[in-house]
């Protein structure tokens, strides 16, 4: 799950760059998340007030209360995730993803937010507020451990993966809308995630695979897992 988190984060970054309408910058010498947190820890220097005050970071999304919503089949959790994305209900979307994948996604999102901070200083105050709200600590991997072990250790430090992912998705959604409204980006640059139709479902015990077919004819493999009596999306995230 955590073997190729950097590569996965860069893929998410590429998509997020389109979402924010930012221009690419040279790759940083330091790990983005660590540098972003280090910058946030520095005392703020006096600066001129911005022309318009940045919008506040979205409120933290609480973790689902036990036992939470359960899904009786892969089809049911897929439909719930599809409806949640369409409604921009990012918290419910996260509830459809298996817990371990949520941890990996949350850590990847922290890395992506670090990249975005360096690419667009205008969004930095909101990203800093979001990381502080979710009590995200310094993210420096232990070099004495394997990459997988080090990233898993970092992911375990994130107290509320669901809330962090949902808030980050909402922040990037709002930022893009602001860019479009300000004329800094075009509507065509906004790429909303779209779920296609589920096909070729095969269930084997507590695991299932299927294919998601989109309207443009493209197909994407899907995986599901049944945990604690409920089905979840089980993305491999390329890890």
**Does residue 19 surpass a pLDDT of 50?**
no
Asked if pLDDT for residue 203 goes beyond 90, the answer is yes
User: What does the pLDDT read at residue 174?
Assistant: 85
232: confidence class by pLDDT, cuts 50, 70, 90: very high
Q: Is the pLDDT of residue 92 over 80?
A: yes
- For residue 33, the number of C-alpha atoms closer than 13 Å in the C-beta half-sphere is 22
Of 135 and 43, the structure prediction assigns the larger pLDDT to 135
Q: What letter would DSSP give residue 183?
A: T
Q: Which residues contact 173 (CB under 8 A, 6 or more apart)?
A: 19, 88
Whose structure tokens read 């049944």? Answer: 226
Q: Which residues, listed in sequence order, are joined to residue 233 by a DSSP beta bridge?
A: 97, 224
Instruction: Report the pLDDT value the prediction gives residue 190, as an integer from 0 to 100.
Output: 55
203 neighbors 223 (Cβ within 8 angstroms): no
Among 45, 60, 155, 144, which Cα is nearest to 100's?
Answer: 155
When pLDDT is cut at 50, 70 and 90, the band that residue 215 belongs to is confident
Q: Name the strands in the sheet holding 230-233, side by side, starting at the edge strand that comes first in the sequence.
A: 197-204, 207-213, 219-227, 230-233
Across 11-20, 29-38, 127-136, least confident range: 11-20
Residue 133 confidence (pLDDT): 94
Does residue 67 have a cis bond before it (omega within 30 degrees)?
yes
In this structure, are residues 231 and 74 in contact, taking their beta carbons and an 8 Å threshold? Answer: yes
Mean pLDDT on 144-151: 87
Q: HSE-up of 112 (CA within 13 Å, CB side)?
A: 27
Instruction: Tell me the C-alpha distance between 57 and 169, whole Å.
Output: 11
**What distance in Å separates the CA atoms of residue 149 and residue 145, rounded to the nearest whole number?**
6
Q: Do residues 191 and 207 lie in contact, with contact meaning Cβ atoms separated by under 8 Å?
A: no
The contacts of residue 183 (CB under 8 Å, 6+ apart) are none
Output the CA torsion sign for 167, 23, 5, 96.
positive
Rounded to whole angstroms, the Cα distance separating 104 from 106 reads 5
Can you tell me the mean pLDDT for 167-172? 90
Domain boundaries in the chain?
Answer: 5-39+69-77+88-192
> What pLDDT does 200 receive?
95
**Summary mean pLDDT of the chain:** 74
Q: Which residue has the higher pLDDT, 120 or 238?
A: 120
Q: For the chain, give the number of residues.
A: 239
Element (H, E) at 118: helix 99-119
Residue 31 has pLDDT above 60, yes or no: no
Res 123: pLDDT? 85
> Average pLDDT in the 23-32 region?
36
Mean pLDDT lowest among 42-46, 79-83, 180-184, 211-215: 42-46
Q: What is the pLDDT of residue 196?
A: 86
């Amino acid at each position: 799950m955590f073997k190729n988190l950097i590569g996965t984060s860069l893929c998410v970054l590429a998509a997020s760059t389109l979402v924010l309408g930012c221009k690419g910058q040279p790759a940083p010498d330091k790990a983005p998340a660590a540098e972003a947190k280090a910058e946030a820890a520095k005392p703020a220097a006096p600066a001129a007030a911005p022309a318009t005050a940045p919008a506040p970071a979205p409120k933290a999304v609480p973790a689902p209360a036990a036992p939470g919503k359960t899904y009786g089949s892969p089809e049911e959790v897929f439909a719930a995730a599809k409806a949640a994305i369409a409604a921009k209900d990012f918290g419910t979307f996260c509830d459809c993803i298996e817990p371990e994948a949520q941890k990996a996604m949350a850590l990847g999102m922290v890395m992506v937010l670090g990249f975005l901070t360096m690419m667009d200083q205008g969004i930095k105050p909101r990203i800093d507020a979001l990381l502080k709200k979710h009590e995200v600590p310094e993210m420096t991997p232990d070099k004495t451990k394997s990459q997988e072990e080090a990233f898993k250790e970092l992911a375990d430090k994130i107290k509320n993966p669901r809330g962090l992912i949902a808030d980050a998705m909402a922040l990037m959604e709002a930022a893009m809308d602001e860019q479009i409204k300000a004329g800094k980006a075009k509507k065509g640059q906004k790429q909303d995630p779209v779920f296609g139709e589920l096909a070729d479902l095969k269930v084997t015990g507590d695991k299932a695979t299927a294919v998601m077919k989109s309207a443009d004819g493209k197909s994407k493999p899907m995986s599901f897992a049944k945990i604690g009596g409920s089905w979840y999306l089980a993305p491999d995230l390329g890890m």
